[in-house]
Amino acid sequence: MDSLIIRGSKPLNGTIPISGAKNSALKLMAAALLTDEPVELLNMPNLADSRFMSRLLSTLGVDVYWPQNHSVCRLNAASITSTIAPYDLVRKMRATFNVLGPLLARIGHATVSLPGGCAIGARPVNFHLDAFEKMGADIVIEQGYVKAAAIRGLKGADIELPFPSVGATEHTMLAATLAKGTTRIKNAAREPEIVDIAAMLTGMGAKIEGAGTSTITIEGVERLSGISHQVMADRIEAGTYAIAVAATGGDVFLERAPAHEMTALIEHLRAAGVTVEEVEGGIRVSRNGKRLKAVDVDVQPHPGFATDLQAQFMALMTTADGVSHFTENIFENRFMHAPELNRLGAHIDVQGNKAVVTGVGQLKGAPVMATDLRASVSLVIAGLVAQGETQVNRIYHLDRGFENLEAKLNACGADVVRESETAEAV
């Protein structure tokens, strides 16, 4: 199993190009199931998760053309040969569950395993299934599989989500594009990725209004056409590198970083004493070596502070002057990085969904273990700051969400080396 060896205390200087957004790309790939015409996705992030989604789509009959290390992915679902998404291909990544709605909308039935994914909480799919039932689907859960049927087609419905779930909003929107009549999603999530997905669907012929607001209206159409669509830049990747520069010091231009979608993070960075400038083509982040100030974080749905940046910002606050308070309102179990940060010399006390971070003078390198995608990159950030050598183990989580992480960091002066375990000679 691979690990990263980080020799810290080096400022970052240079340019980091921001890849396409993982959280958008995976749902855009699932949307290709809604049409029998070719779909081309530009600026595709070359990640373990997106490659995994392409494997699942292939088993359903989708013709996938996506050479390794290319940023253009071509999908053609002219013929759906299977409507079964098996456990082995769904348990490792939650986003694969999003093939259920498109299959149900286009074919009228699907059997999809209940999802797995990172260990950051239960993240149940009942909101998704409740929405499909309101749209006329018959749903049965047997032996870990969701069996759904809408032989006469899905019908538009008024759906009010109990919580502005991003996954349920996206999934319902995908299915509703081919439903008969009008679907209204109330208390919808407002994340930028939802706007990106709606933009692609609209380009395919869907009729969607209100994406990015708390009420989304979808008027179903009979069919969707093919499209060439550019995946939006990844605001979470951009935010992660912005935090890394804030932590280490230095001056980095984040090429293609979407400043208008990162407002909450930028405000928190500036409050901590970091210089963030919106410039043509991206964002410039710099810190001149002055100590950081402690800043409180209250995680909320967009446009609030993103849960996917909470672990990274906590790593930043470990060496700030003062005490910062974190409240995680989205997922349970999303402070699993705290004990690992403490191994590096941080002072973090966790009580339920709250954490108190008391800044220390210096972190020191040590072996640590990643528990999920965002936690793993928070340990990388801490390792970049720490004196000496930090070994981050179980980095397969990183490969799920960060494209060319060590190459991007090393190009700006970091010292990060990937090591692979080799089997002992027999």
- Residues catalogued as catalytic: 118
- Longest CA span, the chain: 65
Detail the DSSP E strand segments found in 49-205: 63-65, 73-76, 84-85, 109-113, 138-142, 145-149, 158-160, 182-186
Residue 219 phi, psi (nearest 5): -100, 115
Question: Residue 354: left if φ>0, alpha if ψ -120 to 50, beta else—which one?
Answer: beta
Residue 271 phi, psi (nearest 5): -65, -30
The angle at the Cα of 156, spanning 155 to 157, to the nearest 5 degrees, equals: 115
Residue 37 phi, psi (nearest 5): -105, 160
- d(Cα 177, Cα 207) in Å, to the nearest integer? 7
DSSP, residue by residue, 253-296:
EEET--GGG-HHHHHHHHHTT-EEEEETTEEEEEE-SPPPBP--
Q: Which two tokens stand for residue 350?
A: 């966790």
Question: How far are the Cα atoms of 2, 87, 110, 157, 170 from residue 233, in angstroms, in the given order?
Answer: 27, 31, 32, 32, 18
Q: At what angle do helices 166-176 and 192-203 cross, to 10 degrees?
A: 10
- d(Cα 371, Cα 335) in Å, to the nearest integer? 10
Helix, strand, coil percent values for the chain (each to nearest 5): 35, 30, 40
Calculated CA dihedral for residues 260, 261, 262, 264, nearest 10 degrees: 90
Q: Is 404 annotated as a binding residue?
A: no
- d(Cα 94, Cα 24) in Å, to the nearest integer? 13
Which uninterrupted H or E stretch holds 88? Answer: helix 87-90
Q: Is 381 annotated as a binding residue?
A: no
Q: Is 76 annotated as a binding residue?
A: no
- Of the chain, the end-to-end C-alpha distance in Å amounts to 18
Question: DSSP label at 330?
Answer: S
Q: Is 187 annotated as a binding residue?
A: no
List 283's β-bridge partners, or say none: 254, 278
Q: Is 16 annotated as a binding residue?
A: no
Binding site for phosphoenolpyruvate, by residue number, is: 22-23
Binding site, by residue number, is: 22-23, 94, 308, 330
Binding site for UDP-N-acetyl-alpha-D-glucosamine, by residue number, is: 94, 308, 330
